[in-house]
Chain A
Amino acid sequence: MPASKRKSFPWHIVVFLAPAVIIYTLFMIYPLIDSLRLSLYTVEQQGGPEVFVGLGNYQRLFTDPFWQPQITRAVGNTFEFFLIHMFVQNPLALLLASLLSSRFIVGRSIYRTLIFTPSVLSVVLIGFIWQLILSPVFGRALFAQIGIKLPPLLGQAETALPVLSLVSVWQWVGVPMMLFLAALIAIPDELIEAARVDGATGVGVFWRIKLPLIMPTVGIVAVLTFVGNFNAFDLIYTTQGALGAPDYSTDLLGTLFYRTFFGVQLQLPNPTMGTAVAGVMFVIIFTGVLIYLFTWQRRLLRNTVEL
């Protein structure tokens, strides 16, 4: 960069980076490393000393007959949770955003605010109200009025996770919607007009002009969804408890981590195995982010140059 090369030492870069790096390192990285360190240790007995075991805990996690089913199930459930968000939440957000981006829709900002409202509510409220809506006594009465016999959706292993994923989609769809909206509004009108002059229909304009232009945002939304879902915990914990009931069918990596690290009821905290679960979460999310950075973003950069 011209400005920085002329000077002997680019102090301004240091100034720009220092506040973020200092606060972040002190209150985030240091505590996390201090804790993740534990995943390389084990404690033989309650109150006893920590013994270094290298990657032993991770090996145990993936081979031990007690741990292996738990971690594979949690990884599988978390992927299902993520995929439902990816293929329901994000297309829905894009659809809503493209409707809201039209200048001819009256009351856009009202729609926008109302659709976003669920995102600001606390998970305790969300969990409470959806449990009430889907509950055997109260929800059934409501659905019976419109002629639907409501099955115990949150109590069956086959339906609990998909239904809770949809509740989560319902809560969070406003966030990607806002991101898409920002990107769509930023598209210069001339481009769209030019395409119309060439005879493109509304749908054609969307696929040929708008979608390619908002690809960077699609990428960001995808990676944010991935990161958010692989850290998900609150909704499941509030509605189904730390055991991911029924029969662990809603157990995510987040709940497995919490239950192992902090304990549940009579099950004592196991910080060393708990941090190992967190380590697995880290590796999965890190891989996802790397894939995003080195394939998606690279390709996009190349595309923009070609444009």
Chain B
Amino acid sequence: MKRLLLVCVLLLLVMNVAQAQDTVTITIESWRNDDLTIWEDTILPVFEAQYPNIDVVFAPTAPAEYNAALNAKLEGGTAGDLITCRPFDASLALFQQGYLASLNDLAGMENFSDVAKSAWITDDGSDVFCVPMASVIHGFIYNKDIFAELGLEEPATVSEFYAVLDAIKADGNYIPLVMGTADQWESATMGFQNIGPNYWKGEEGRLGLIDGSAQYNTEGFAAAFEALAAWQPYLGDSYQSQTYPDSQNIFALGLGAIYPAGSWDISVFNSTAEFEFGAFKPPVPDGQEDCYISDHTDIAIGLNAASPNAEEARIFLEWVTSAEFATLYSNALPGFFSLSSLPVEVEDPVAAEFVGWRNECSSTIRSSYQILSRGEPNNETQLWEISASILNGTVTPQEGADTIQAGLEAWYAPQQ
């Protein structure tokens, strides 16, 4: 009897140990603090139900610290198994330094088009190192109550856009255009990169910059800077010290009518705005037939080359390529649109509106992200400063465009 008990206890112990060994914990590094609850409550339980022996921990870092902290942890060998990838060079550098593993042979990668993969692939196209997760789309979000009150319609062309802005300004009760220049990226991203593609004809202009046939201070790009400068009269008082969170709050409180947006703002306003809001795409210059939108590859996930749990991490990455993940992610985070070629139903009406533009217009990504931000001065950083300065009125659009073009010519051979 005693012996039997002993055997039982031993057996239990062994089983316990075996089970403990079976459960593997993998950690995801991310800058998406915002999504912590969504990952914990919505996304990960679905995966863990299918793979009970894999425990996934979503461990985000405050976005301002993410790149620096991640680099340090990778160098020190303490980074998590899965790494959330910024687009283009930041992740490419990690791959070249050997911190990210190649994912060429990952099952499910065929679910992504070449365009979707373009932000996480080597220049020669030989290695892809992150599984694309989502893109973000730019446009304008507007307060439906204010539009109804003032009898306004969604503008489609540039002149209609200004007519609407003039009407709001003439009424005087609301800030026509809610944007600030204190956080410089807001001017560049929500302003310049939002309306720009219509002027530089999307991919045509962007690839022109890369091969040297287009310049920042001529034609489409110069016109985009001029168009941005024209926003100044419609911004709120003291917009120079208005931060991005200020802009969000001003719009959410119903103090402003139109908000130059990134699609990620949809989920923010879903939880903060007490009115109905709609969206319209960047207005096209008068007389132009085609429209172009910024549909920017923004976020992906890769494998830490030094991960001791590579096998389990790959299982998770394969799941990320699935239609199940794409649907789950797109609907849990309205405004982050899956890059998967598999069909995905977006339920949020405003998010569906944004993603619907993909069918009407040609997509492009932000002009400075691919290749052009590898040198000194950094193209993206300059776009931030100059876009803000143009709106602040401290440089003219032409001067600003010349500065950026000179910055590119300083180091980029095709532009020299």
Contacts and interface: CB of A to CB of B under 8 A. Distances in A.
Is A–B contact present in the complex under a CB 8 A cutoff?
A: yes
Given A66-B410, A243-B384, A46 B373 contact: no
Contacts of B96: 46-47
B236 A136 contact: yes
A201 to B, nearest CB: 46
A134 B369 CA distance: 34
A289 B380 CA distance: 39
A148 B368 CA distance: 42
Interface in A249-269: 258, 262-269
Interface of B: 64, 67-68, 71, 88-90, 92-93, 96-98, 180-185, 236-243, 246, 249-250, 255, 368-369, 373-374, 376-381, 384-385, 388-389, 392, 394, 410
Contact of A263 (B68, B181, B249, B394): B68
Contacts, number: 118
A245 to B, nearest CB: 5
A243 B89 CA distance: 19
B294 to A, nearest CB: 15
Interface size class of A (residues with CB under 8 A): 35 or more
A268 B237 CA distance: 35
Contacts of A246: 181-182, 184, 240, 388-389, 392, 394
Given A137-B255, A246-B181, A268 B241 contact: no
A47 B305 CA distance: 15
Contacts of B378: 266-267
A131 interface: yes
Nearest to A240: B182
Contacts of A135: 241-243, 246
Contacts of A269: 67-68, 71
B182 A140 contact: no
Given A137-B250, A243-B385, A268-B93, A155 B240 contact: yes
A248 B184 CA distance: 11
A17 B249 CA distance: 55
A292 to B, nearest CB: 32
B241 A46 contact: no
B129 to A, nearest CB: 13
B238 A136 contact: yes
A54 interface: no
B16 to A, nearest CB: 40
Contacts of A66: 376-377, 410
A155 to B, nearest CB: 3
A243 B381 contact: yes
A241 to B, nearest CB: 7
Nearest to B395: A247
B381 A136 contact: no
A154 B373 contact: no
Contacts of A240: 182
